[in-house]
Structure 1
Amino acid sequence: MSAMMARMIGSPSTTPLSPSPQPPPSSSQPVRAVPGGYGWPVVGPIIDRLDYFWFQGPQKFFRKRMEKHKSTVFRTNVPPTFPWFLGVNPNVIAVLDVKAFSHLFDMEIVEKANVLVGDFMPSVKFTGDLRVCAYLDTSDPKHTQIKNFSLDILKRSSAIWVPSLVSALDSMWDKIDAEVAKSGSASYFFPMQQFLFSFLTRCIIGADPSTSPEIASSGHIMLDKWLGVQLLPTINIGILQPLEELFLHSFSYPFWLVKGDYNKLVQFVEKEGKEVIKRAQTEFNLTEQETVHNLLFILGFNSFGGFSIFLPTLLSALGDQESTGLHEKLRYEVRQKSGSNSNSLSFDSVKEMELVQSFVYETLRLNPPVPSQFARARKDFKLTSHDAVYEIKKGELLCGYQPLVMKDAKVFVESPETFLYDRFTKEKGGTELLNYLYWSNGPQTGSATAANKQCAAKEIVPLTAALFVAYLFQRYDSITISSGSITVVEKAK
C-alpha cells in the first residue's frame, strides 16, 4: 500500500490568457466539431483503459491522441470502465492547452458535483454516508458552509503552523540522520508520512496524536489504506501488469476492508477534536457528523494525501537538480533571508525567498499532486482553445490532464518540457506565469472562496513546501538525494 501511495506520487511572448471568466471567442477562430470519438460500446473504453494504464501510461495516452487529432481538444475515454463499473460513463472531452483547460474553473459554465475523479465516485460509506465538500457543487448551500469552515480552520491554524512544522521536521530529520549514520542511506517516505500525520493532525484537528498510542503509531497507515482502497480503480502504478488490470482496475473495493481503521480515526477526532467540532456547529451550522467526516477528508485526502505525493516529488526534484548548482543557490538565499536557525523561519521569511518559491512552483507545474481535473458542463457553451472554438453541450464531462497542460509551449515558452528552477522568478517573467499555474483547481493568482472549487490551502501549500526546503538548507551544508533515499548528509556547521 505504501508503494502504491508513493507511486500516486523566460517571459511568454504571447498575449497573456485570462484564466476566468472566458473572453468571447475571437471571430477569427474557426468553430470546429470536437474531434475524436469513444469507439464501440464496451470495446472502445476497454481499449482506451488498457492504453491509459498499461501500453502507454496517462501522459503518453493523452499526447498521442492530441497528435492524432491535431488538436488539444478531443473526445476519448478515461478509466475506470467495464466490467464492474456499469454506472460509470468513461466518455470525456479532453482539454489539454492552458486556454481550454481554464474553462474547468469557470463556475458559471461548469459544475463540480461528484466529479472529483471523473464520473467515478467512491462509495459514500468511505465518508460516513455523506457527500463531503469535495463532491459538492458550489450551488449547494452545504458547500458554502463547509468551504468557509475549511478556510477558517486554516486561518486559525496559521499561528501554530510554522512551529508545529519545524518541531515535526526536527523529529523526522533526526531519525533520517541516525539511519544514514547507521546504514549509509535512509528512505524518507515512511518518516515523511509520520511527520505529516503528526503535524497536520495538530494543525487541522487541533489534536495531539500521542494521546492515542495506536493512532500515533499507525494513523498514517490507516489513512494510506483508506485512500488507496477508494482510488485503486483510477491509479496508474505501472509495475504489476497484467495483475494490475485484473485485480486493481476492474472493480471497486468495499469499505469494509478499512472500516475498522476508519472508525478508529472517527473516534479519535470525536474525542480529541471537540473544540473544532463545537466551532463548526456554532459558527457554521454543521452537524457533528458532517464536521467529523469532512475533517477526516480534509486531513486524509486533501492534506495528508496531497503532501504525501508532493513532498517526495519535491525531494526527488532536489536530487535531480544537485549537479546544476541549485543546492548552493538555495542554501545561500535561505541563509541570507532567514539565517541558519530554524526558529527564524516564518511565512514572511519564505515569501522573501524568490528562488525557493520558484523551485516549488516549477515542481507543482510539472508534477501536480492531483494530475487530472474534471468538470461537467452546466449549460451549452463555446469552449475556446488556442486554435479553435468548440461547442460543448450541457452535461458533457471535461477532463484536463495537468502535467501535459502545464507544458503548453504557447504559455511556458522557454523549454516547456524542461524543469527550470528559476522559471518563476521576476527575471524570467514568473509573476505573470503564476496566472497559468493551476495545481490548486484554479490559478495561483486566484483566491479560494465558497463561490469556487479552488483548494482552500492554495496559499499555505506552496508556503509549507518553501518552509520545508528552507529548513533543509538551514540544517544541512550538503545533502544527496537519490531514488527515494537520503545517502549523504553534512549538517550545517
Structure 2
Amino acid sequence: MNSTALNQSMSSPEKLPLRAIPGDYGFSFFGPIKDRYDYFYSQGEDEFFRTRITKYKSTVFRTNMPPGPFISSNSKVVALLDSNSFPILFDTSKVEKTDILDGTFMPSTSFFGGYRVCAFLDPSEPNHHLLKSLFLTFLASSHQKFIPYFRTSLSELFERFPTENRRILTSIAITWRVNPSETKLKSEGPGITNTWLALQLAPLGTLGIKYLPDFIDDIIHTFRLPFFVVKPPGYKKLYNAVYDSATLLLDEAEKVGIKRDEACHNLVFVAGFNAFGGMKVLFPALIKWIGSARESLHRQLAEEIRTVVKEEGGVTFSALEKMPLTKSVVYEVLRIEPPVPYQYATAKEDIVVESHDAAFEIKKGETIFGFQPFATKDPEVFNNPEEFVADRFVGEGEKLLKYVYWSNARETESPTADNKQCPGKDLVVLCSRIMVVEFFLRYDTFTVEIGKLPLGASVKITSFTMARNKSDDVIVTDCGQVTER
C-alpha cells in the first residue's frame, strides 16, 4: 500500500493550482486520424497514453479518441488518467451518460431491437430507473441460486475442457442472468453472440490479421458495420432463447410498465454484452494472472480454499467470506486488468477536476474519457502498480478497495436504480471467487501460455497438477486451450 498517498487522500485536501488543460486535437479531420493511427498502429494503446503524459507532464490532457471520422461526429475528449480525477465519471449530478457507453460513437439501435437499452440511458431518463430496478430485483431474488447453479456449470467446464469450454461459458453467461435452465441455443450461442458483439464494437478495435496493411485494417474505423449480417436469423435466436426462458421476469417488466419486447431486448443485451462479453474477458484474465504467478501462490490458495470448505462443510457465502487471499486475488485481477477499460461521460456543467498535483476546468458539453487501467495502476496510490500482488487487498489493504473502479464506481459502493454502476457487480465478484475456489478444489498448480488476439489475449493452460486423490497419487495432465478473449 502507498501509505503516504493514502493518508494524504484521507486528510483535508489542499487547494490545488488551476491549470489550463494541456494538449490539442490537431487539424480538423486529420488530427483525429493521426491520433487513431497512433492509438492502433504506431504506438498502441498504453504507449499512446504514456507518451502524452510525458509530453504534457500531466495525467489530464486533451486528445482524440477512436473511431473518429466518419463514424464520430466529435472525437475530442478530455482524458483522465489518474485515480484522483477518474471518479468524476461516476458523478451523475455533474456528468451525463446518454448514448456514450461505447465512447465517441454509438452502434445502431438495430442491434438492440430498435431500443436504446438501459446501458445507453442516463439515470435522469425514466426508463433507466424502471429497467435497472428490474435487473436489481431479479438479481437480489436469485442470489441464493447462483452458487449451486454456477458450481454445476463450472463442474461441466472443468470436466470437458478444452473442447467444450466455449459452449459451457455461453450457457453460463446467458442462463445465469436470465433463468437457471438450459436455453435452446446450445453450441450456436457463442458464434451468434460473438458476431453480434464484433459488429457493434468493430470500430473500437483492429482486425489483428498479421501482415495486413494498416490502411486496409483501418477501414473498419470509417463506417459502422451493418446489423443485417447477424440479423438473419442469429439475433432472433438470441432473442427467442431469452424470451422463452425469462417468462416470469418479463411478466414483472410488464407489471411495472415496461413493454415486453423492450424488456427482452434489454435482457439480451445484459446476457450477451454484460455477461458473455464481460466474462469472456474476466475469466481468462483470472486464469492468466493466477497462472502466471508463483507456484507458492497456488499452494496458498489451495490450502486456504480446501481448509475453509472443509470447516464450513461446503462452498457457501459464509465460506467465501472467510477466504481473504481468494477475495484479494479476484480484486487484484479486477484492478490490474479491468474487463471494461474505458469510461465516458459528458459534462453537464462547467466542472473542476483534480489530479494529484493540479486542478483543471472542463466546460459544459465536453466529452470526458477515463482510461481505467492507468487510474487503477496509479503509482500515487498503489505500490508496484504494474505487478500482480495477490495479497494486495488483505487486512489493511482492504482500504485500497475504494480505488478499484471496474464496475463504473468504487468497489466500496453499491449499484442502485439511479446510478450507472454495473447491476451485477456483486454477482461478478461472487462468480469470480467461485471459479477460483472450484479450480483449486481440483488442482494444485498449473501453467499458462499467453498469446495475442485482436481484442485482448488468448490464454492456454499448458499443464496442471490435479489435487491428490484418496490414494495420494498426483496426476499431471497436459491440456489445450481453455478459453480466449
**TM-score (norm. length: structure 1):** 0.88
**Residue in structure 2 matched with residue 474 of structure 1 by the alignment:** 441
**Residue in structure 2 matched with residue 348 of structure 1 by the alignment:** 318
**Residue in structure 1 matched with residue 188 of structure 2 by the alignment:** 218
Structure 1 residue 336 and structure 2 residue 307: aligned? yes
Superposition map of 1:94-105 within 5 A: 94-105=79-90
Contact 1:201 1:209 (C-alpha < 8 Å) held by counterparts: no
How far the C-alpha of 1:421 sits from its partner, in A, is 1.0
1:156 aligned residue (134, 141, 145):
141
**Residue in structure 1 matched with residue 427 of structure 2 by the alignment:** 460
**Residue in structure 1 matched with residue 465 of structure 2 by the alignment:** 490
Q: 1:106 to 1:175 in 2, by over 3 A?
A: same
Q: 1:16 to 1:250 in 2, by over 3 A?
A: farther
Contact 2:342 2:370 (C-alpha < 8 Å) held by counterparts: yes
How far the C-alpha of 1:419 sits from its partner, in A, is 1.3
- The answer to which structure, 1 or 2, has the higher relative contact order (CA under 8 A, 6+ apart) is 1
Tell me the SS of whatever aligns to 2:85. Answer: helix
**Residue in structure 1 matched with residue 270 of structure 2 by the alignment:** 298
How far the C-alpha of 1:488 sits from its partner, in A, is 2.3
- Quick one: which amino acid aligns to residue 38 of structure 2? D
Superposition map of 1:94-493 within 5 A: 94-176=79-161, 186=162, 191-206=164-179, 208-209=181-182, 212=184, 215-236=185-206, 238-240=208-210, 241-242=212-213, 245-259=217-231, 260-282=233-255, 284-323=256-295, 325-339=296-310, 344-412=314-382, 414-426=383-395, 429-483=396-450, 484-492=459-467, 493=469
Provide the C-alpha distance between the structure 2 equivalents of 1:357 and 1:193, rounded to a whole number of angstroms: 26
**Residue in structure 1 matched with residue 481 of structure 2 by the alignment:** none
Provide the C-alpha distance between the structure 2 equivalents of 1:246 and 1:199, rounded to a whole number of angstroms: 34
- Quick one: which amino acid aligns to residue 233 of structure 1? P
How far the C-alpha of 1:207 sits from its partner, in A, is 5.8
Structure 1 residue 66 and structure 2 residue 47: aligned? no
Q: How many residues align?
A: 457
Shifted more, 460-469 versus 127-136: the winner is 460-469
Provide the C-alpha distance between the structure 1 equivalents of 2:188 and 2:8, rounded to a whole number of angstroms: 46
How far the C-alpha of 1:468 sits from its partner, in A, is 0.2
How far the C-alpha of 1:258 sits from its partner, in A, is 0.5
How far the C-alpha of 1:109 sits from its partner, in A, is 0.7
How far the C-alpha of 1:64 sits from its partner, in A, is 0.8
Q: 1:419 to 1:239 in 2, by over 3 A?
A: farther
Contact 1:79 1:90 (C-alpha < 8 Å) held by counterparts: yes
Provide the C-alpha distance between the structure 2 equivalents of 1:167 and 1:148, rounded to a whole number of angstroms: 28
Structure 2 segments unaligned to the other structure (5+ residues): 451-458, 470-485
Please list the CA deviations of residues 409-448 of structure 1 after superposition, one character each: whole Å capped at 9, or x if unmatched. 1111x1112111111111xx32110011000000000110
Provide the C-alpha distance between the structure 2 equivalents of 1:348 and 1:281, rounded to a whole number of angstroms: 36
Contact 1:201 1:207 (C-alpha < 8 Å) held by counterparts: no
Contact 2:68 2:104 (C-alpha < 8 Å) held by counterparts: no
Contact 1:381 1:393 (C-alpha < 8 Å) held by counterparts: yes
- Quick one: which amino acid aligns to residue 279 of structure 1? E
How far the C-alpha of 1:340 sits from its partner, in A, is 10
Contact 1:346 1:467 (C-alpha < 8 Å) held by counterparts: no
Q: 1:263 to 1:327 in 2, by over 3 A?
A: same
Provide the C-alpha distance between the structure 1 equivalents of 2:168 and 2:384, rounded to a whole number of angstroms: 35
Tell me the SS of whatever aligns to 1:14. Answer: helix
Percent of residue pairs bearing the same amino acid type:
39
Structure 1 residue runs of 4 or more that deviate by more than 6 Å after TM superposition: none
- Quick one: which amino acid aligns to residue 34 of structure 2? I
- Quick one: which amino acid aligns to residue 455 of structure 1? C
- Quick one: which amino acid aligns to residue 365 of structure 1? R
- Quick one: which amino acid aligns to residue 446 of structure 2? I
- Quick one: which amino acid aligns to residue 17 of structure 2? P
RMSD: 2.1
Please list the CA deviations of residues 154-185 of structure 1 after superposition, one character each: whole Å capped at 9, or x if unmatched. 11221221111111111111112xxxxxxxxx
Q: 1:313 to 1:62 in 2, by over 3 A?
A: same
Provide the C-alpha distance between the structure 2 equivalents of 1:95 and 1:447, rounded to a whole number of angstroms: 23
**Residue in structure 1 matched with residue 33 of structure 2 by the alignment:** 46
